[in-house]
Amino acid sequence: MQIIHSHAAGIDVGSRSHFAAVGQNPGDVSEFGVYTQDHQELIKWLKGHGVTTIAMESTGSYWQTLFSALQRAGFEVLLVNGRQIKNVKGKTDVKDCQWIQRLHCLGLLTGSFLPSEQLEQLRTYQRHRNWLVEQCAKMSNKMQKSLRLMNVRIDVVLSDIMGKSGQSIIKSILEGNRNGEQLALLADARVKKSKQEIALALEGNWCEEHLFELQDCYELYHVFERRIASCDLKTEALLSQFIRQVDNKKENQLTSRHKRHFKNEPGFDVPSLSTRILGVDLFAIDGVSHSTVMTFLSEVGVDIYKFKTAKQFASWMRLAPNNKISGGKTISSRTPKGKNTLALALRNAANAIGQMKRSTLKNFFSRIAYKKGRAAAITATARKLAVIIWNMIIRQQPFQPLDELVYQETIKASVLFNIKAKMKRLNLSVIDLNLTC
């Protein structure tokens, strides 16, 4: 095969050492450590061999510091998915780096999607915020368990123990109030349960160890809430740097649709900021929430232009089927497995669409669910959402859902086309159908 990159190197990334290869001979491989000084020695060694382009395997988070150091040194660095280089025989670190170098020389490796520096910062903030939200949920569950062990059943009379009423009651309990009737008066007037039933639920067996646990979890919950608010300030400041310059006439048209508010929403105006950054209103899409838009902005955002087609964008998230065809027959068409944060957010949005009463996307979801089940419908709808988002941003077009009547006519036309094609394959005519009936 023809050599595409004559001055190429391959690096096998490890947690304790990195193996680099500039050729296929035993003397062309060298091992380096993971410290900053070792990175500089590796860069000097690569430059001494005239290397201009490097391919390296993405392994956990160990590749990131080395990747940045190589880029700053002026190398063209290709980050490769481990699936592309897993077929080496007699696997060792030396053979791995030589196999990477050989494949890169022949131009057989494709690089992974990498966000810009600003987007990487936003992604770090958003993922850290998601972790903080998870910790809040854990503290809430632990408090609920502590109360349940004391037979204080706040979870029966309140839908959320960390809502306005729940927090007031728990705070009063920690201050020493043990009277169920007095605690019931702290519940908001909007609570559906009566004051008498709430008072009965708040009579329990007060245990010192469980009260101590409740106190700790309550304080930690508010610590995490304050850190979430601090993280929101950082995120808002960074998002403001992405705002594109739009004329006043267009900016007045970019009014975001009102969406239902949820508990863990960011503390800033996500619809307004996202619309000004992207130029389109993603909240106009059915099922899309604040969490979906924030995940999109932090995982891809303005770097969506790196995907040339909507198919590439959906395939990167592993929402497109991996068709395996042999002998003209489709052997398998399963969706590849993988953990993509944005794909998970779109699946959640697709699941929300499946719970709606009426919409064009709901009709699409129901049609796929009837044929292949709900799991397949969630994947198909998530892929459809990815295509819609790509087209909206790249082409700067607002979301224009099909009218339900137009959608039904489109489905009818597709069914008739399939029937005619099948009749043609079987050499059937309308007369044959009448005779059969």
Tens digits of residue pLDDT in 201-221: 998 889 999 999 999 999 999
pLDDT over 60 (residue 22)? yes
Per-residue pLDDT tens digits for 232-248: 999 999 988 888 644 44
**What's the whole-number mean pLDDT along residues 60-84?**
87
| pLDDT, position 307 | 92
pLDDT recorded at residue 1: 78
User: Percent of the chain beyond pLDDT 70?
Assistant: 94
Q: Give phi and psi for 402, each to the nearest 5.
A: -70, 145
pLDDT at site 90: 66
Q: Which fold has domain 8-105?
A: Nucleotidyltransferase; domain 5 (3.30.420)
Distance CA 40, CA 46 (A): 10
- Tell me what the mean pLDDT of segment 417-431 comes to: 84
Task: Quote the pLDDT of residue 171.
Answer: 93
Over residues 344-401, the pLDDT tens digits come to 999 999 999 999 888 888 888 998 999 889 999 999 999 999 999 999 999 998 988 8
Compute the mean pLDDT over every residue in the chain, rounded to the nearest whole number.
87
Give the residue-averaged pLDDT of 90-102. 85
Res. 138 pLDDT band, cuts 50 70 90: very high
Question: Has residue 162 got a pLDDT over 60?
Answer: yes
How many CA atoms lie less than 13 Å away from 339 in the CB half-sphere?
A: 1
For residue 331, what pLDDT is reported?
Answer: 76
What average pLDDT does this structure show over 308-336? 84
Residue 246's pLDDT is 43
Question: Does the pLDDT at position 412 exceed 70?
Answer: yes
Report whether pLDDT(111) > 80.
Answer: yes
**If you average pLDDT over residues 187-202, what whole number do you get?**
90
pLDDT on residue 244: 61
Task: Specify the higher pLDDT residue, 247 or 163.
Answer: 163
pLDDT of 26: 82
The predicted structure's pLDDT at residue 110: 84
Lowest mean pLDDT among 262-266, 291-295, 339-343: 262-266
Average pLDDT over residues 117-124: 90
State the pLDDT at residue 400: 84
**Mean pLDDT within 23-50:** 91
